[in-house]
Amino acid sequence: MRLSRDVRNSLESKAARYAENVDAAADYLSSRGITREVAVEFGLGFVPQGEEFQGRLSVPYLSPGGVIDIKYRCTNPAHGDHKGISCPKYGKESGLGVHLYNGWALIGNSDRVVLTEGEFDAIAVQSLAGYPAVGYPGVDTWKKQEHWRFCFDSVAEVVVVADGDDPGKQAAERVQESFNRMDLLARVVEMPDNDWTDANGVVHHGHDANSFLVEYGIPEFRTLIER
């Protein structure tokens, strides 16, 4: 969808204002293996008190033409029901549609691109492991936006990283099938399905690319990708 000038200006203003406050999310970002330099590169920020998404990490969708959307990530390790208050994992600007995250990583990269489920996985793969990475925002989004596959038609190989749970694996398989229908080479790399504990003591089932990189390191991740 085409954004009006007013909407673009509003998104740019919010993203810039929240980015100035990114140090307030330093502990959370560090637990995800994200340095301040990487946070600045991807325009990450933190929403101050008194605003709609206060206390959340802002994740702008950057494009060559500027900011086209912003997602807001809860930094509470118990996001869900927290002290009786509903706390969804993500909030989002309304009326802006659904987009690939970090899509401009496709520009000039014709060999191998990593495709992840989620923004933070794409950030981690690109900044830590050094692969150009694009994220689709959630397990159900790709099947509703299959035209996204045409954005990859000049890429020699797409490595689809599957989160280590059943929904994540099923989503990755659907993505791979959509690429196969256009004769584009795509393969799935599954993250481990074991339980693991994050820096806040919260137990999760199944790794994603970000948690795998933090727990097992870059060489182990690159070994999986290079197989």
pLDDT per position as a tens digit, 202-223: 777 889 999 999 999 999 999 9
In terms of domains, do 86 and 119 share one? no
Q: Would you state the pLDDT for residue 27?
A: 93
In terms of domains, do 69 and 178 share one? no
Q: Would you state the pLDDT for residue 80?
A: 55
CA-based nearest residue to 114, from 84, 144, 134, 130? 134
pLDDT per position as a tens digit, 108-152: 888 999 999 999 999 999 999 999 999 999 889 998 998 999 999
Of 72, 92, 112, which residue constitutes the final position of a domain? Answer: 92
In terms of domains, do 117 and 17 share one? no
- Which CATH number is 206's domain given? 3.40.1360.10
In terms of domains, do 48 and 29 share one? yes
Q: Would you state the pLDDT for residue 110?
A: 86
Of 92, 117, 136, which residue constitutes the final position of a domain? Answer: 92
227 by DSSP, 3-state: which? coil
In terms of domains, do 167 and 201 share one? yes
Of 59, 92, 125, which residue constitutes the final position of a domain? Answer: 92
What domain count does the chain have?
Answer: 2
CA-based nearest residue to 103, from 143, 142, 145, 63? 63
Calculate what percentage of the chain has a pLDDT beyond 90: 74
pLDDT in tens, the chain (227 residues): 688 899 999 999 999 999 999 999 999 999 999 999 999 999 999 999 999 999 999 999 999 889 999 999 998 765 554 445 567 888 999 888 999 999 999 998 889 999 999 999 999 999 999 999 999 998 899 989 989 999 999 999 999 999 999 999 999 999 999 999 888 889 999 999 988 777 767 777 889 999 999 999 999 999 999 98
In terms of domains, do 109 and 55 share one? no
**Which domain, by its residues, includes 81?**
5-92
Q: Would you state the pLDDT for residue 205?
A: 80
Q: What is the DSSP string of 5-55?
A: HHHHHHHHHHHHHHHTTGGGGHHHHHHTT--HHHHHHTT-EEPPTTSTTTT
In terms of domains, do 61 and 151 share one? no
d(CA 56, CA 162): 26
Residue 162 domain flag = yes
Residue 98 domain flag = no
In terms of domains, do 75 and 111 share one? no
- Which CATH number is 20's domain given? 3.90.980.10
In terms of domains, do 73 and 114 share one? no
Q: Would you state the pLDDT for residue 82?
A: 46
In terms of domains, do 80 and 149 share one? no
Residue 122 domain flag = yes
- Could you say which DSSP state residue 168 is in? H
Residue 97 domain flag = no
Residue 68 domain flag = yes
Q: Would you state the pLDDT for residue 172?
A: 96
In terms of domains, do 55 and 116 share one? no
- The contacts of residue 220 (CB under 8 Å, 6+ apart) are 212
184 by DSSP, 3-state: which? coil
In terms of domains, do 83 and 33 share one? yes
Residue 112 domain flag = yes
Q: What is the DSSP string of 84-128?
A: TEEE-SEEE-TTS----BTGGGGTT--SEEEEEESHHHHHHIIII
Task: Tell me if 97 sits within 8 A of 1, measured CB to CB.
Answer: yes
d(CA 69, CA 222): 30
